[in-house]
Amino acid sequence: MSETSTALITGASAGFGRATALVLAERGWDLIITARRAEPLEQVRRATGATALPGDVADPAHRARLAAVLAERDRLDLVLNNASALGPSPLPHLADLPLGAFATVLQTNVVAPLAVLQLALPALRACDGTVIDISSDAAVMAYQGWGGYGASKAALDQLTAVFAAENPRLRIYSFDPGDMRTAMHQAAFPGEDISDRPEPETVVPALLQLIDTRPPSGRYTAAELSVAH
């Protein structure tokens, strides 16, 4: 059996997913990366040597292709469910949130991560792997305009917690990276200057702390991990 650690990263073409992929590749990990935008994903593939599958994790046909690639591996040490949908921009109040757009957010932020975990679970169990689902403080705080996205992340937190209870041999985390200077965060604040937010690369060390130290399954924030480190 190969000793090389393997990770599946969704939403890997930009932002936090891209930053994590680059660092894990430097560590010698074998990566499977996916994202909706093919050209930026190809750039990450060239930089990391990863297996890249462009597509939408909310699409069952794309997930079937991911499952076929996973079946070719003899282990899966990490699943990073990073792909997320924000919803309409500017962010509307719940009274004005189009229900179709909300359903799309739930498909991407809740249903798709669970579907990925279902197809990845046998490989994760084979090497007592790690799952990291990307959460948000909007899952636990009430911010005007963030109701749809926040509700999806609250649902993902609960899903993650129950999945951990049902798979005690694995390490399963909700990880809140905090505000970052990403395209999605910019979309949440159109026309505003978000240059004061930290670059995604600065948050990766907190994620690596989860991967390296494997604390008990649960919800962790980058801020608390950085303080603990």
For tokens 């209870």, name the residue. 165
- List, by residue number, the catalytic residues: 149
Three-state DSSP state, 34: strand
Distance from C-alpha of 153 to C-alpha of 144, rounded to nearest angstrom: 15
For tokens 């200077």, name the residue. 181
Distance from C-alpha of 172 to C-alpha of 215, rounded to nearest angstrom: 10
E strand spans, 82-176: 130-134, 171-176
Q: Work out the number of other CB atoms within 10 angstroms of the CB of residue 39.
A: 8
Six-digit token string for 88: 């309409």
